[in-house]
A = this chain, B = another copy of it.
Amino acid sequence: MEHILTQLRALERRLFAYHYALALIEVDESTAAPTDSAEGRSEAVGLLSMEQYQLLTGDELGGLLEAAAGLELDPQAAAEVRELRRARDRYTKIPPAEFAADSRVFPLSQTAWHRAKASSDFSLFAPWLEKIVEIRRRWAGYLAPEKDVYDVWLDYYQNGLTMAQADPFFAALRGKIVPLLAEIQKRGRPIRTDFLCQDWPLDAQDKLSHFVMEAMGLTRAHCVLGESEHPFTSALYDGDVRITTHYLPDNMVSSLYSVIHEGGHALYERHVSPALRYTVLGEGSCSSVHESQSRLFENYIGRSRAFLSFLWPELLRLFPRQLEGVSCEEFYRAVNLVTPSLIRTDADELTYPLHIMVRYELEKQLLHGELSVRDLPAAWNRMYREYLGIEVPDDAHGVLQDIHWAGGDLGYFPTYALGTAYAAQMTAAMKDRFDLEGCCARGDLAPVREYLAGTIWQYGKQREPEELIRAGCGGAFDPGFFTRYLEEKYRELYAL
């Protein structure tokens, strides 16, 4: 037994080395690489990915997993075997020839999507999306023929998630958010936003980023901030996490909340137990759990009155001219403004779940064969009218706005909304246990880190998402925490 575990862990270390290299190449591409250097990069990425694929699908791992099946394993080792088997299954259940042929579709499809979005011409992307829906339906048959096809893909992005859980979740959200939004639009008190769009010097914005990172407990020793077109977080391992932001000269709030959001992801990765280092468990769990952490810091802490009262003196120090005559309360209201918008990534806390709901319904129908790709744009536009009350002017600002489907990711979007809802309940759980508001007002987030590290972060991928969510939430997940939070916050904010 000792022997098999030793061999498994040696193989996990080799997988780690490829993960490290591939993650760094991706970070570099978005932050530092020459603009016209894609050819060599894609050659290197292709070859390194192939080595990784061969390790995961090869006979060596096959034999070790078979040998491990008969052993009594401690919880960590059992989880390593579980995750290795899961990763291996995802590759080996698809016939290799189909896997290879289908894998070539995704980059081509993304290229077509870029062109389609640039010219707002859905017809350029439609044939590729048809191929992708077909591939995902076919693969679902290989991965779990006994299951509903959309359930297969929900489970792919959050192990254990089903429509049976997601349907009532979204129904509950819709039932609360749509009427609340209508009420805000009808009779909410106006919010002052005139000061948001002005000249915010980039060096002061950069100083603000570092002030916020320090307050969150992220130091240059193990976490650095870069700049990229789209903000992201990448963990090479728990001791080396990269986050990025995108500075806009006329909008300081955008980068501020990017840094807090990515900082939440980074804290999670930084606190995965070093005992899991170099194993397949040594990173954060699935997307929805990860998103719960970033949203918790971005929305529940970062957009709270308490945390903004802590930030306010620093904001005044960095932007004395820009914030002259603005009160902290006015700033609080402005960064919590509700306004239905066309673009998901620009959406506020209240309308964001509506954007997800549209995608959830549509990808479900696509995978179930109830909606054809041809009819997708019209369906999209209809739902934006119904849920958000706005007209989509063209497909670039509609169905073509996100890259996810072009990369094959159908079933991913729900994790964004779920993560946000988990975070509401986790925030409530913290409030039950300690004075969260007081901590935020003092800029002392140590108790937050302690709670989340204790319930979620330290376990990496060792525990399954459901277990992590339950521990973080302090009980079974209940979307009522999220809807009540939205009701209370926005009724007060808009004086309803």
Residues of A whose CB lies within 8 Å of any CB of B are 13-14, 16-17, 20-21, 24-25, 28, 31-37, 39-41, 43-44, 47-48, 51, 220-224, 226, 236-237, 239-242, 277-278
B residues within 8 A CB of A47? Answer: 13-14, 16-17
> Quick check: A17 and B44 within 8 Å, CB to CB?
yes
Give the complex CA separation of A276 and B5 in angstroms. 43
| Number of identical protomers | 2
Give the complex CA separation of A435 and B258 in angstroms. 54
* Chain B residue with Cβ nearest A218: B34
B residues within 8 A CB of A226? Answer: 32
> Quick check: B40 and A237 within 8 Å, CB to CB?
yes
> Quick check: A37 and B278 within 8 Å, CB to CB?
no
* Chain B residue with Cβ nearest A40: B237
- 3 nearest CB pairs, A to B: A17-B47, A37-B240, A21-B21
Which residue of B16, B36, B41 is within 8 Å of A44 (Cβ)?
B16
> Quick check: B277 and A34 within 8 Å, CB to CB?
no
* Most chain B beta-carbon neighbours within 10 Å: one of A31, A33, A47, A277: A47
Shortest Cβ gap from A206 to chain B (Å): 14
Give the complex CA separation of A74 and B13 in angstroms. 41
> Quick check: A34 and B278 within 8 Å, CB to CB?
no
B residues within 8 A CB of A278? Answer: 40, 43
Shortest Cβ gap from A269 to chain B (Å): 12
> Quick check: A222 and B37 within 8 Å, CB to CB?
yes
> Quick check: A43 and B239 within 8 Å, CB to CB?
no
Shortest Cβ gap from A66 to chain B (Å): 24
User: Given A13-B43, A41-B240, 17 more contacts at CB 8 Å?
Assistant: A16-B43, A17-B48, A20-B25, A20-B41, A21-B24, A24-B25, A24-B28, A33-B240, A34-B220, A34-B222, A34-B224, A34-B239, A34-B240, A34-B241, A35-B220, A40-B277, A41-B236
Which residue of B32, B37, B40, B43 is within 8 Å of A32 (Cβ)?
B32
> Quick check: B237 and A34 within 8 Å, CB to CB?
no
B residues within 8 A CB of A277? Answer: 40
> Quick check: B32 and A223 within 8 Å, CB to CB?
no
